[in-house]
Chains A and B, each alone.
Chain A
Amino acid sequence: MRLWECASLIRSKNAGPFWLTFDVMFSAAPPYEHVKRSGVLTAERFAELYGLHVEDVDAFECDQALAFKFSIPRPRIQGDFGDADMHGGQQYAPLLEIEVPQP
């Protein structure tokens, strides 16, 4: 099972002009808990997918929100010459294909 098949929303967005933030959200506790326990969605995995150093990735598991959050410094300042995603909204696609083991 791939991550997009069990999450309710996977999104990215600016967190101000200098940061990007990624949310992986679930609509029920069982799939969230399952993904959390499986250990497939970690700062290390995120850094590997995006070609970053793991120390540049802030990772959070938000139990009440049933969500994972990752924040990274923007590779380019929002809207600077060369930036092609003003709102940071289309940076999440590599997360969709993360393979989640069957429960």
Chain B
Amino acid sequence: MRYVAAIGALGGGVDGPSLLAALDYDPQFIAADAGTTDAGAFALGSGATAFSKAAVKRDLSLMLRAGLRARVPVIVGSCGTAGADIHVDWVLGIVEDIAQDLHEDLRGVAIYCEQDTAYLAESLAAGRIRPLRHSPELEPDTLAGCERVVGMIGVEALQDALVTDPQFVIAGRCSDAALYAALPLMKGFAPGLAWHAGKVVECGTLACENLGAGVMVVTLRGDSFSVCPVGADLRCTPQSVAAHSLYETAHPYLFREPSGTLDITASTYEQEDDVTVRVTGSRFVAADDYSVKLEGAELVGYQAMIVGGVRDPLIISQLDTWQENIRRYVIGSIERVMGVEIDDRRYRLGFHVYGRDAVMGDLEPLRRPGHEVGIVCTTLAPSQDEATEMAKLCRQPLLHAPIPEWKGAITGFACLHSPAWVEVGPLYRFCLNHVLLPAEGQAVHRLENVNVAASPGRQSALTQVGL
């Protein structure tokens, strides 16, 4: 069987002509991932999205039109960046707009996978939530403090949706590779090949030798799969396909999925034609326990900042002391004026010194400042007003902190803005690095049949609850 990976990130700009050309390969579905944790925890925390509505609509419209033309389902996973319920609904709203634009009734399935934190607390108490490597023990308070938690779905939920022969599947947080493995596994293809092929194309054309616009076509066979880019000057090589498995993953050969582990240690890659690579030897080892990776975001606080720079070589020569003096002075005035203590938890003060070690922080081996340095002074507090107040209290000490070489008043800091402070807004943090082992019959996702009418209006019905 064949299928098309339209793009690695829905909203990033699907290449329409390539997608159309790929339909000549007679694909049995078209899919794209729409999520990432890379942009930060704000999407999961706030419900916002990384891509604009217009960008997502453009790409999804191209995919749906291609799907209608080829009469195959369009599958989108990790909708709206974080794949929470609010994001699934956001994308369903876009599908509604597209249906009206196309004058087509559309029939599909939405998959929701946001988790109830009270229910998770029960699972934690029952020993059904386990930390992944290098994670602290999970406290019940952390769960209660999450703005949202999503459970990453695997192929099973997608397959429940695909048996209804939908025109579209709009899924919440989803394993990227599962988007592409779900249908092949239903058709009986070897799990190792089905999962590995999905892994190769989940980032779209990133598995090619060079960057460029296009789509990826996968051909699955009994003993191998092939990946072929469709797009100008795109080419896969054995090395480019093998190397893509390294991208954004901690382990180059083992990839944990809800139902088991993809093992590509023994995979072999060969050039099939000028642009196509054939892969064999990938294995999938089924897990004893089905596990659902949890992603949660908590509100850390609100931030404000002051941005500026220092050019005086005498200050730069004693930057650590100068900075520490300012820090101590500011902590004192925050205590005096606001009556709060910098506790490095709820109230925090931070300095990023660009030109010295801002980018790498503790990992920086060369802590040597340049001839000028940029300084971002950040504050964190439980409310925006307090964070802003703290930033205001940083301004004078930054400007006028003395150094022994100069007598009299100095202005040792160049402010970039007026007012000097900038309100940054809420800060969210990923706070779960854990898996849920669902109990027998515990629902981790919900399916909803969705009929989108060419004229305004949407009817949906909850049809199934289950793993």
Q: Is the CB of A25 within 8 A of B243?
A: yes
Q: Is the CB of B246 within 8 A of A78?
A: no
Q: Is the CB of A69 within 8 A of B246?
A: yes
**Residue from B250, B268, B361 within 8 A of A15 (CB atoms):** B250
Is residue A30 contacting chain B, with contact meaning CB distance below 8 A? no
Q: Is the CB of A65 within 8 A of B243?
A: yes
Q: Is the CB of A90 within 8 A of B360?
A: yes
Q: Is the CB of A69 within 8 A of B252?
A: yes
Report the minimal beta-carbon distance from B349 to chain A, rounded to whole angstroms: 10
**Residue from B246, B250, B253, B362 within 8 A of A19 (CB atoms):** B250
Within the assembled complex, what's the spacing in Å between the Cα atoms of A64 and B250? 17
Q: Mark B239-275, 1 if CB is under 8 A from A, else 0.
A: 1001101111111110000000000000111000000
Q: Is the CB of A13 within 8 A of B247?
A: yes
Q: Closest residue of chain A to B366, judged by CB?
A: A94
Decide yes or no: A86 and B40 within 8 Å by CB, A15-B249, A21-B249, A64-B269 being known contacts: yes
Neighbouring A residues of B303 by C-beta, 8 Å: 81
Q: Which residues of chain B in 41-76 are interfacial with respect to chain A, using CB atoms and an 8 Å cutoff?
A: 41-42
Report the minimal beta-carbon distance from B175 to chain A, rounded to whole angstroms: 13
Q: Is the CB of A65 within 8 A of B252?
A: yes
Neighbouring B residues of A76 by C-beta, 8 Å: 361
Q: Which residues of chain A in 58-90 are interfacial with respect to chain B, using CB atoms and an 8 Å cutoff?
A: 58, 60, 62, 64-67, 69, 71, 73, 75-87, 90
Within the assembled complex, what's the spacing in Å between the Cα atoms of A66 and B237? 12
Q: Is the CB of A81 within 8 A of B427?
A: yes
Q: Which residues of chain B in 356-405 are interfacial with respect to chain A, using CB atoms and an 8 Å cutoff?
A: 358-363, 365-366, 378, 380
**Residue from B243, B245, B249, B365 within 8 A of A50 (CB atoms):** B365
Is residue A101 contacting chain B, with contact meaning CB distance below 8 A? no
Within the assembled complex, what's the spacing in Å between the Cα atoms of A87 and B248? 10
Report the minimal beta-carbon distance from B277 to chain A, rounded to whole angstroms: 11
**Residue from A66, A71, A86 within 8 A of B250 (CB atoms):** A71
Is residue B134 contacting chain A, with contact meaning CB distance below 8 A? yes
Neighbouring B residues of A84 by C-beta, 8 Å: 352, 358-359, 361
For chain A, give the interface size range.
35 or more
Is residue A17 contacting chain B, with contact meaning CB distance below 8 A? yes
Neighbouring B residues of A93 by C-beta, 8 Å: 360
**Residue from A17, A21, A23, A75 within 8 A of B37 (CB atoms):** A17
Decide yes or no: A64 and B238 within 8 Å by CB, A13-B248, A73-B134 being known contacts: yes
**Residue from B41, B132, B245, B361 within 8 A of A79 (CB atoms):** B41
Within the assembled complex, what's the spacing in Å between the Cα atoms of A85 and B300? 18
Q: Is the CB of A78 within 8 A of B40?
A: yes
Q: Mark B140-154, 1 if CB is under 8 A from A, else 0.
A: 000000000000000
Decide yes or no: A66 and B427 within 8 Å by CB, A79-B40, A81-B378 being known contacts: no
Q: Is the CB of A77 within 8 A of B363?
A: no
Neighbouring B residues of A64 by C-beta, 8 Å: 238-239, 242, 267-269
Q: Is the CB of A15 within 8 A of B248?
A: yes
Is residue A14 contacting chain B, with contact meaning CB distance below 8 A? yes
Neighbouring B residues of A21 by C-beta, 8 Å: 246, 248-250
Report the minimal beta-carbon distance from A41 to chain B, rounded to whole angstroms: 15
Is residue A51 contacting chain B, with contact meaning CB distance below 8 A? yes
Neighbouring A residues of B358 by C-beta, 8 Å: 84
Neighbouring A residues of B133 by C-beta, 8 Å: 73
Pair count A-B, CB < 8 A: 123
**Residue from A15, A50, A80 within 8 A of B363 (CB atoms):** A50
Q: Is the CB of B40 within 8 A of A18?
A: no
Q: Which residues of chain B in 418-458 are interfacial with respect to chain A, using CB atoms and an 8 Å cutoff?
A: 427-430, 433
Q: Which residues of chain A in 1-59 are interfacial with respect to chain B, using CB atoms and an 8 Å cutoff?
A: 13-19, 21, 23, 25, 27, 49-51, 58
Q: Is the CB of A81 within 8 A of B348?
A: yes
Q: Is the CB of A80 within 8 A of B300?
A: yes
Within the assembled complex, what's the spacing in Å between the Cα atoms of A73 and B131? 14
Within the assembled complex, what's the spacing in Å between the Cα atoms of A15 and B254? 13
Is residue B350 contacting chain A, with contact meaning CB distance below 8 A? yes
**Residue from A75, A81, A87 within 8 A of B350 (CB atoms):** A81
Within the assembled complex, what's the spacing in Å between the Cα atoms of A27 and B301? 45
Within the assembled complex, what's the spacing in Å between the Cα atoms of A16 and B251? 12
Neighbouring A residues of B433 by C-beta, 8 Å: 16-18
Within the assembled complex, what's the spacing in Å between the Cα atoms of A79 and B43? 12
Within the assembled complex, what's the spacing in Å between the Cα atoms of A21 and B430? 18
Q: Is the CB of B250 within 8 A of A79?
A: no
Report the minimal beta-carbon distance from A72 to chain B, rounded to whole angstroms: 9
Q: Is the CB of B135 within 8 A of A18?
A: yes
Q: Is the CB of B252 within 8 A of A91?
A: no
Would you list 28 pairs from A and B whose C-beta atoms are within 8 A, ordered by A residue? Answer: A13-B248, A14-B38, A14-B248, A16-B433, A18-B134, A19-B134, A60-B251, A60-B252, A64-B238, A64-B242, A64-B268, A65-B243, A67-B246, A69-B252, A71-B251, A78-B430, A79-B40, A79-B41, A80-B300, A80-B429, A81-B301, A81-B380, A81-B427, A82-B350, A84-B361, A85-B359, A86-B39, A87-B38
Q: Which residue numbers of B lie inside 8 Å of A, CB to CB?
A: 37-42, 132-135, 238-239, 242-243, 245-253, 267-269, 300-301, 303, 348, 350, 352, 358-363, 365-366, 378, 380, 427-430, 433
Q: Which residue numbers of A lie inside 8 Å of B, CB to CB?
A: 13-19, 21, 23, 25, 27, 49-51, 58, 60, 62, 64-67, 69, 71, 73, 75-87, 90-91, 93-94
